[in-house]
């Protein structure tokens, strides 16, 4: 089964989901960025530490193409389930990697060396960290990681760096419902887990689902309920062969899973197999072991069966019945 990190990335790699979150976070949920403007890119870089080369890459990054409403810019998402006190340093490194990538593209464009994306100048970069944990994460700024007040002679020369954190589980119901993509299912799940202490989840049945596989895989990866996880995986396995009529909602998903279970139960019964509880099955097996053989039943009903057995195995009462008058077994 895929892990949580991979499922989060797969969902964010859907252009409609990516564009809806950019609109929500940057443009007050106005429909400014369209899915057609999203171009996913690899901003990976490497650094040498302790005699080893280490990769440095983002979770999901893309360039948002310009339009009549906006100029082009780079946007990246970082997924976090737990807080990390070194997140300001990580974001600082990710930002540096994005600008290094731009420098390589500008040089390749000027020299006509087939760049990954043609650029002639540097463009802004924005990074948001999506925190899915059930608590509020208030990260420190870059200069709060060290004793900033203890260096008054360096303060005029030290730059601060603020990171953008979104605590998904703390979004309210209205904000989540306003999201124009399937990410609202994940956000609503995180909200319910926080409010119920991880005990209950009531799937929203009125929202339509566009990216069924990516959304259900993410919910299954997040869920700690074994029954819900199994049901979602069962639906995903047969989704490609499912002749769906109309839009897909969580209500239709649950109804389809229940219908599939009912058909399997009917198939088992029609096949002549009786479904017994474990205790009942053991009890019936014991009755079969302790059942009286026909030859051991009452003599008046089974004389013929006993007479077919060897003489030495015939009981005394049967031999007495067939003795001549006046004879005895002694």
Per residue in 182-226, pLDDT (tens digit) is 999 999 999 999 999 988 888 888 888 888 888 888 988 888 877
318: containing domain: 292-323
Q: Among 81, 105, 80, which residue's Cα sits nearest to residue 90? A: 80
The pLDDT of residue 79 is 93
Is residue 263 domain-resident?
Answer: yes
Q: Are residues 27 and 146 in the same domain?
A: yes
Residue 198 in domain: no
Q: How confident is the model at residue 191, as a pLDDT?
A: 94
Judge whether 34 lies within some domain: yes
| Tens digits of residue pLDDT in 109-137 | 999 888 888 999 999 999 999 999 999 99
Quick: pLDDT tens for 214-236: 888 898 888 887 777 777 877 77
Bridge partners for 130 per DSSP: 79, 166
Whether the Cβ atoms of residue 24 and residue 164 lie closer than 8 Å to each other: no
Return the higher-pLDDT residue of 314 and 249.
249
Number of domains in the chain: 3
The answer to whether residues 279 and 307 belong to one domain is no
50-85 per-residue burial string, b: 16 or more CB within 10 A, e: under 16: eeeeeeeebbbbbbbbeeeeeeebbbbbbbbeeeee
Looking at the fold, whether 108 and 252 belong to one and the same domain comes out as no
Residue 53 confidence (pLDDT): 66
């Amino acid at each position: 089964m895929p892990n949580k990190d991979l499922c989060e990335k797969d969902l964010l790699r859907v252009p409609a989901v990516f564009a809806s979150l950019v609109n929500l976070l940057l443009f007050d949920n106005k429909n400014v960025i369209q899915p057609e403007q999203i171009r996913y890119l690899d901003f990976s870089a490497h650094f040498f530490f302790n005699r080893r080369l280490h990769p440095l890459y983002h979770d999901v990054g893309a360039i948002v193409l310009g339009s009549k409403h906006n100029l082009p810019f780079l946007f990246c998402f970082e997924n976090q389930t737990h807080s990390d006190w070194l997140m300001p340093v990580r974001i600082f490194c990710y930002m540096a990697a994005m600008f290094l990538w731009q420098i390589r593209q500008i040089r390749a464009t000027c020299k006509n060396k087939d760049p990954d994306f043609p650029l002639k100048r540097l463009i802004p970069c924005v990074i948001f960290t999506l925190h899915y944990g059930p608590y509020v994460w208030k990260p420190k700024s870059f200069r709060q990681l060290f004793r900033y007040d203890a260096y008054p002679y360096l303060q005029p020369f030290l730059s601060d760096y603020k990171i953008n954190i979104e605590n998904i589980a703390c979004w309210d119901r209205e904000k989540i419902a306003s999201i124009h993509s399937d990410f609202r299912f994940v956000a609503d799940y995180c909200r319910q887990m926080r409010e119920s202490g991880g005990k209950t989840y009531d799937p929203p049945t009125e929202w339509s689902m566009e990216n069924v596989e990516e959304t259900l895989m993410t919910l299954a990866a997040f869920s700690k309920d074994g029954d819900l996880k199994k049901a979602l995986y069962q639906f995903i396995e047969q989704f490609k062969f499912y002749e769906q009529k109309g839009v897909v909602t969580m209500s239709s998903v649950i109804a389809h899973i229940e219908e599939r279970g009912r058909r399997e139960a009917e198939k088992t019964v029609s096949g002549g197999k009786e479904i017994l509880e474990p205790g009942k099955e053991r009890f019936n097996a014991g009755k079969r072991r302790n059942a009286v053989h026909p030859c051991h039943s009452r003599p008046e009903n089974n004389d013929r069966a006993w007479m077919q057995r060897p003489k030495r195995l015939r009981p005394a009462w049967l031999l007495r019945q067939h003795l001549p008058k006046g004879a005895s077994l002694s």
